[in-house]
Structure 1
Amino acid sequence: MIIVLIGYMGSGKSSIGRRLVKKLDYRLIDLDDFIEEKENASVKEIFESKGEIYFRKKEEQYLKELLKLKENVILSLGGGTPCFGNNMQYITEAKNAKSFYLKGSITKLADKLIKKKAKRPLIAHIETKEALAEFIGKHLFERSHYYSKAEYHVVTDGKTKDEITKEILDLL
């Protein structure tokens, strides 16, 4: 089975993925890391040298490839992955996949991301928590249509990573 984790940046896809791997003995694949390995360049370098359209085409290609795996995998997607091309359709139609939307509120995401913004090129330029919350709000408004198509929605606010992990395990 493939467990697909979707959600906005900072929603916990990577950290929850690592916890699930320990509980389930699955392999963790981060789609951005997979793309970087296959393309022999960082996501940032791909965007800068070949552009976003090239990146999104490769992202779709590799997502489709990974959804065909016959092994047990936790697949952590980039925050924008479900919103481009037919990616969300591929996820929902994959017979061996279960998708989980890790849903955090704008406030909680902003609280978390303001501390780590230097490591996130998309938000590194944003100065205040208020401006970051506005940025996240606009993005979530655009993306929620796609995220909401996930099979399961797991609200993350007010829960520990262990509680979120347990909730996902209970839903499997």
Structure 2
Amino acid sequence: MKIILLGYMASGKSTIGKEISKKLCMNFIDLDAYIVKKENSSISEIFKTRGEIYFRSIEKLYLQELLNSKADFVLSLGGGTPCYGNNMALILASDAESVYIKVGIPTLVFRLISEKSNRPLIANLSDDTIPEFVAKHLFERSFFYEQAAIILPANDQSISEITKALKIALP
């Protein structure tokens, strides 16, 4: 079984992915970390030296590589991965279970403000402009996220509650 976690940045994809992979005795893969290892370069360095178009092309390449593999795993995508090229169509056409970790704007904003320095997309924004940025960005991306086979609300629940709900929702 392959489980693909998608959602906006700070939705908890990696945290939930690590937890559910332990519970299901499966490997956990973070797509960004996979890209860093394969390219032997950080994501920010890839963006800086090769550009976003190059990054998005290798992101799709490595996503396809993982989807085509025989391995079972839990895969956490980058927030933008489903929204570029035909990545969401690839996910939906695969034998993987896609799961949208759905978190509301107030929760996302709270999390993002506290970890802003680790998020290049918002690092230079003032705290008072982050809610509007997140709302607009999430609106643009929701079309892709909402196509997931499972939509998992994850606002105020604990990691164990979310993991338990995900385990129940999986076929």
Give the structure 2 partner of residue 170 of structure 1. Answer: 168
Q: Deviations over 1:120-153 (max 9, x none)?
A: 111111121x311111011111100000110010
Q: How many residues align structurally?
A: 170
Partner SS state of residue 143, structure 1:
helix
- Report the aligned-residue RMSD: 0.7
Q: Is residue 78 from structure 1 mapped to residue 78 from structure 2 by the alignment?
A: yes
Q: Is residue 94 from structure 1 mapped to residue 56 from structure 2 by the alignment?
A: no
Q: Distance in 1 between matches of 2:40 and 2:70?
A: 25
Deviation (angstroms), 1:5: 0.2
Ranges of 4+ aligned residues in structure 1 off by more than 3 Å:
none
Q: Counterpart of 2:111 in structure 1: which amino acid?
A: K
Deviation (angstroms), 1:19: 0.5
Q: Is residue 135 from structure 1 mapped to residue 114 from structure 2 by the alignment?
A: no
Identity %: 49
Partner SS state of residue 114, structure 2:
coil
Give the structure 2 partner of residue 121 of structure 1. Answer: 120
Q: Deviations over 1:65-105 (max 9, x none)?
A: 0001212100000000000000000001102x000000111
Name the TM-score, length of structure 2 as normaliser.
0.97
Q: Distance in 2 between matches of 1:166 and 1:131?
A: 35
Q: Distance in 2 between matches of 1:93 and 1:163?
A: 29
Q: Deviations over 1:9-32 (max 9, x none)?
A: 000000001101210110011000
Could you tell me which runs of 5 or more consecutive residues in structure 2 were left unpaired when the two chains were aligned: none
Q: Distance in 2 between matches of 1:36 and 1:88?
A: 21
Q: Is residue 27 from structure 1 mapped to residue 30 from structure 2 by the alignment?
A: no
Q: Distance in 2 between matches of 1:88 and 1:28?
A: 20
Q: Deviations over 1:35-79 (max 9, x none)?
A: 111111000000000000000000000000000121210000000
Q: Counterpart of 2:147 in structure 1: which amino acid?
A: K
Deviation (angstroms), 1:155: 0.7
Q: Distance in 2 between matches of 1:107 and 1:171?
A: 25
Q: Counterpart of 1:148 in structure 2: which amino acid?
A: E
Q: Distance in 1 between matches of 2:93 and 2:82?
A: 13
Give the structure 2 partner of residue 160 of structure 1. Answer: 158
Name the TM-score, length of structure 1 as normaliser.
0.97
Q: Distance in 2 between matches of 1:44 and 1:77?
A: 16
Could you tell me which runs of 5 or more consecutive residues in structure 1 were left unpaired when the two chains were aligned: none
Partner SS state of residue 114, structure 1:
helix
